A = this chain, B = another copy of it.
Amino acid sequence: MITKHTDYAIRALCEMARNKQSRELFPVAELAEKLKIPRPFLRKLLQILNNKGVLKSYKGQGGGFKLGRPPQRIFVVDLIRIFQGPFKIDKCVLSKDVCPDVRTCLLRKKVVAIEKHMISELKSITIASLLSMKDKS
């Protein structure tokens, strides 16, 4: 359900969010070591997050990545979408023919409803909310 791409991204973002009082800029090398994620892999992930606007990057010596917006506004569901593609059950979950009519099929209706429920449940979770759990523990 959640791949390593998403997993690592969440971890890196949490790490940055937690230390964001003291510093804003984090080079990949440092994060990779602290979180024990393969450096080139994490780098690719952060580059993607940069392209999506979740992070902002600074090149050159002393550069690195910083959060593109406050942790309260970074939603886990968006990270899932970025790394695992959009939730898509637009078209028939089964390949035609089984179903009487795409508009009336029971199975399809259920699946779509389940997906909506899933998304709405996940929607409230942000990097900030994950972090707050961590602090309390």
Residues of A within 8 A of B (CB): 1-2, 4, 7, 10-11, 14, 35-36, 76, 89, 93-95, 97-101, 104-107, 110-111, 113-115, 117-118, 121-122, 125, 129-130, 133-137
Contacts and interface: CB of A to CB of B under 8 A. Distances in A.
Given A106-B129, A114-B121, A122-B110, A97 B134 contact: no
Contacts of A136: 100, 104
Contact of A2 (B14, B93, B118, B137): B93
A108 to B, nearest CB: 9
Number of copies of chain A assembled together: 2
Main secondary structure of the interface of A (DSSP, over half): helix
Given A1-B115, A104-B136, 13 more contacts: A1-B93, A2-B94, A2-B111, A7-B94, A10-B94, A10-B98, A11-B97, A104-B133, A106-B133, A107-B125, A110-B122, A113-B121, A114-B121
